[in-house]
């Protein structure tokens, strides 16, 4: 896998962990806040944590699909070149 993609995936996991920590902190220590403010903050942090953990799986899936498509195109080009060489010789 490409190093840039790995770094991006690790950054999303780090951001997700940070959002989980902040969401738990608001859940545990947010008693001084109004209930509506506390709920909005928890939804914000837990929602972004979910996105931060979901998005890397989508990046991996897209990377694997593009890699498979690239390999398929290379095989097709190699087959076409082999056919062209066979026709030239025959």
In this predicted model, what pLDDT tens digit does every residue of 29-58 receive, in sequence order?
888 889 999 999 999 999 999 999 999 999
Q: Counting Cβ atoms within 10 Å, is residue 72 exposed (0-12), middle (13-18) or buried (19+)?
A: exposed
Residue 85 has pLDDT above 90, yes or no: no
| Residue 34 burial (CB count, 10 A) | 9
Domain boundaries, the chain: 3-89
**Tokens 């690239």 -> residue:** 70
Bigger pLDDT: 62 or 32?
62
Model pLDDT, residue 80: 85
Separation between Cα atoms, residue 75 and residue 1, nearest integer Å: 20
Q: What is the pTM of this model?
A: 0.73
Model pLDDT, residue 90: 56
Bigger pLDDT: 80 or 87?
80
H or E element, residue 37: helix 35-89
């Amino acid at each position: 896998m490409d190093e840039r993609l790995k770094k991006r995936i690790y950054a999303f996991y780090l951001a997700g962990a940070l959002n989980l920590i902040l969401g738990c902190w608001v859940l545990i220590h947010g008693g001084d806040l109004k209930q509506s403010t506390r709920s909005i903050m928890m939804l914000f942090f837990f929602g972004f944590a979910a996105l931060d953990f979901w998005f890397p799986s989508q990046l991996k899936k897209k990377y694997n699909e593009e890699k498979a498509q690239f390999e398929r195109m290379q095989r097709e080009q190699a087959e076409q070149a082999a056919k062209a060489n066979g026709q030239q010789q025959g």
